[in-house]
Structure formats: C-alpha cells, structure tokens
Amino acid sequence: MRNIAHLSIIICLCMVAPAFAVEPGAVRVDADTSEAVSSDSTQEGTAKVETSSGEADAVKSGAAADAQDAKAAATTKAKAFPVGASVNAGYGFNHANFVESNGDYGYQRMSLGMGLSYGIVDGLTASTGLNVQKTLATSYLNPGSASTTTKTPWELADVSVGFAYGNFYTIPVAKIGLSGSLGLGFPTSKASQSAGLIMSVSPSLSARWAMAGFSVSLSGGYSYFLNEDPTVQIDCDLAPQNCIVSGGDTANPNALHNIRGSLGLGYKIIEQLSVSTRYSVANGYRAVKFPDDEVTSEYAQTGTQKGLGRHSFSLGLSYTPIAKTTVGISMASGGSIYTSDNDAIRLPFFDTESQLHHRTSYNISVSQAF
C-alpha cells in the first residue's frame, strides 16, 4: 500500500451570489463522459482530459449549500467590493492505492489554481480561473504510462469563463430558488489542443430548496463542443512517423454534445459542520455520423454515435473551524451505467466490480475565503 500524504489548500472566493457554483465550460469530455460524472477517465478509455472536478463534487455541493444560507450577507458586501480573487491547491487519489497487486494501478494528483470574479449586478457574477495539475503517481491503467517511474510535468488545464445568476426566481409557496449559469471553455490544455477543440459552451439550470438545515438541489446542463475536425488529428510535424504509418486522421471521434443532470442532498449538522451527497448522470454524442446504405453491414454502427451513459455518486463532509476557513473531505465513485458485460446496471456507490476498486476516488481540501 502506498503512503498517501496529503496537503491541500483551497482559498475560495466570496462572490456576489455564492448560492451556486459557476459551471465550468472548459472541461473536455467525450461522448459518454461529463464533468459532473466522476471516474478515472483514461481507465475507462473515454475522456480526452482527466479532471478532478468530479472528485471534489461532494465538497463543492456542500459548500454551495452553506453559501446559500449566507447569500444575503455576502451580496451586501459584494456591492461595496464586487471584485474577488482566489488561489487553490488540491490532492486526489483512487482506491487502487490501497490494493496489493503485481503493478501500480493507483494514481495520485496534485492541482494548483487561481481565480477572479466580478459582481456585475445584484445576483449576477462573472468568473474565470487558471488551473494546473501534476500527476504524482500514474497508473498502469493509464495508456502510455510507466507507473511510478514516469516523471510528469505540471500541465495547464482548460480555461473557463463563467456567468452565473443566483436565485433569479423563487417559486412561491414551495420557496424553491432557481439559478442559472453559462460556461465558456477554451482549449489551453495539451489534450484539448491535440484533439482540435476550439471552444465549448455549457449552459445549466438548477433548483434548490432548503429548510431547517436540510437542502435539496436538482440541476441539469448541456455542453456543445466546437471542434476543428470531427475526429482527432495527428500533428504530422510533431509525429511524422505516425502519419507515415497510419495517416494524419486517428478516426477517433471528438465529442459534440453532452447532456447531464444531478440530484444533491445536504444537511448542516451544526453551524460549522455539514454533509452532502450527490448522484450525477450524463451521456454524450460524438461529432461523426456513419452511413447506412446498401453496403452497410447489419452489425455496423450507423448514424450519430452516442454513449451508453455514465453516472457517479459522491459523499462529502465540510467543516469550518474558524470564520471562512473550511476543511473538506470527499469520496466519489463512477463509471459507465452498465457493467463491462452490459448485463447489469453498475451501482456507483463504490467500485465493487473491479478487483482494484480503481473507479472510487478520494479528495481532501482546506479552503480560506475572503
């Protein structure tokens, strides 16, 4: 078992409307993946970019619930000083680190970032951020990796610009608040650039109800990916031998559309301690279509290519020891909705299907808000 040493500090930001989290539009996903669905994407062989947003999903949902209760006070302060900034650092790893095997199948990742936000008007916030990630220990399940012998550099993640409008409408009697967001993603990561992503657009809508410390949230979102080509292309200047052998087209289709939804539950145990859980589901469509004519085999894939769906479950605990300082810990498990043999639905609570349990991951964080 590897020694898991963790130190993560996330300095968060008090926005004009902290009742919601701006949904990033910069996460590059394949047709059957989503930023809301947590899994080791390279292990599943479906995602263009590995992201730690799913690993921290439970912590973020809990933080959003706490922020909802303090919205009025935060909005008043934001009117006087509408500009905010943040820096962050984080660490995550999967359960395979604890499983004895003949190889190293567990990953460990460290991330750093910074962000800016601006309160445009009451309830409307614009934000952006810059994040980098370093893989401290790679997995044999990651194609092309050499496990712990590989030294990986810090890599820049995609940059997103988000606009969020919190509680723009409250449903009478039920007192359910509606919030919306729009994320624009730009390909600053190597993976998105090599895939030919130009930008992504991700609108979302969420509803939240809270009473006596309990909260229930329901959200849905859509992403559209604008690509240079429908399939991933090889840069023949960087890899001329690959182009000579197989040509410049990998025939690996890029993602075009993605739809997702999630249901979250939260409870504030005491003023400083809260727990939250979230179930997420997503599916996507690729940017290619295969013909269906007189020469097409009955076993061939035809028409628009769509995924089989993915889902995840996350559980998080958030503690605020002093004002605006929050310590969070979370676990998440996810993958394809169906098992590997497509014979049954995979339960996302914990990865019991694989011997390595590598689809279950953990994240710890410390945050300081200003």
19-59 residue pLDDT tens: 333 333 333 333 333 333 333 333 333 333 333 333 333 33
Closest C-alpha among 76, 61, 83 to residue 275: 61
Cα 62 from Cα 276, distance rounded (Å): 5
DSSP code string of 275-329 = EEEEEEEEEEEEEEEE--STT--TTS--EEEE---EEEEEEEEEEEEETTEEEEE
In this structure, whether the domain defined by 10-368 belongs to CATH 2.40.160.40 is answered with: yes
Max mean pLDDT among 191-205, 295-309, 330-344 falls in 191-205
What's the token pair of residue 297?
A: 């085999």
Q: What does the domain layout of the chain look like in residue ranges?
A: 10-368
Q: How many CA atoms lie within 13 A of 267 on its CB side?
A: 3
337-366 residue pLDDT tens: 888 777 778 888 888 887 788 889 999 888
What's the token pair of residue 18?
A: 């902290």
Give percent of the chain with pLDDT exceeding 70. Answer: 74
Residue 167 has pLDDT above 70, yes or no: yes
Lowest mean pLDDT among 2-16, 283-297, 317-331: 2-16
Q: Which residue has the higher pLDDT, 351 or 79?
A: 351
